[in-house]
Amino acid sequence: MTVSAALKTAPLPPARADKPAPDGPALLLAALPQPLLVALPDRRLLFANASAERLLLDGKAAQRAGHLMALGQLDAPRLGQLLQQAGAGSSARLGLWFSPGLETAWLHLAPLAPGVLKACGWPADSVLLTVHLDQPALTQAARIDALTRQCRLSQAERHVLLLLADGQPVDATSRHLGLCVSTVRSHVRNLLGKTQAPSLMQLLRWTGSSQPLSH
């Protein structure tokens, strides 16, 4: 379930004039695993769940005096521009990267539904920022498992592909599996034949991407 769908189905408690509601949508946002922030167009932070707080603690985002100053490569002026656009009703999606490890993610900015704003006591131009952190290892393993089933790869071929996709050369793969180099090369030929990939480089590139396998 997406964040927006979950918020639409969450029961909304009566609005409180004295303070934001501690349950309903705010509680749901706090419980979701992906980093979530709510901010105003002037970058003032209204809410950050536990995962977003970890981004701040790890230096992947920054705040000062209650204002969001940076998120990944996005500096304060760029964040302000994006928040102003989203606060005016225009959603946005863009890629993020975090130094020094160059981890990647993508960011979705969207205005919050009126019912959520009322329940939480947030201003009408509040913006929800959702950070979707990439998990390349999980994605790669899932794509190789899908390829194994679809193309009926043997377990030996699957193991060879896993190691090659992790960056191991053929000779290191042969030592790891206790096989001759010629046997590993034979498995590679079988992989190319079964997947109809034009080259080993194309096949390995596919395992780490979100693109369909080109035949």
The answer to whether the Cα torsion of 13, 19, 23, 27 is positive or negative is positive
Distance CA 61, CA 73 (A): 9
- Categorize the per-residue pLDDT at 29 as very low, low, confident or very high, splitting at 50, 70 and 90: confident
CATH number belonging to the domain at 137-207, selected among 3.30.365.10, 1.10.3720.10, 3.40.640.10, 1.10.10.10: 1.10.10.10
Name the phi and psi angles at 193, rounded to 5: -70, -45
Confidence check: pLDDT of 10 > 70? no
Name the residue type at position 70: A
Indicate where the chain has its CATH 1.10.10.10 domain(s): 137-207
**Residue 117: both structure tokens together:** 């704003």
Name the phi and psi angles at 68, rounded to 5: -75, 120
Phi-psi region of 45 (alpha: psi -120 to 50; beta: other; left: phi over 0): beta
CATH number belonging to the domain at 3-134, selected among 3.30.450.20, 3.40.309.10, 3.50.50.60, 3.40.50.410: 3.30.450.20
Confidence check: pLDDT of 16 > 50? no
pLDDT above 90: percentage of residues in the chain: 62
Report the chain's mean pLDDT, rounded to a whole number. 85
Q: What is the pTM of this model?
A: 0.66
Q: What is the pLDDT of residue 211?
A: 57
Confidence check: pLDDT of 189 > 90? yes
Residue 137 CB: number of other CB atoms within 10 A?
A: 10
**Residue 4: both structure tokens together:** 């927006």
Distance CA 35, CA 17 (A): 27
Indicate where the chain has its CATH 3.30.450.20 domain(s): 3-134
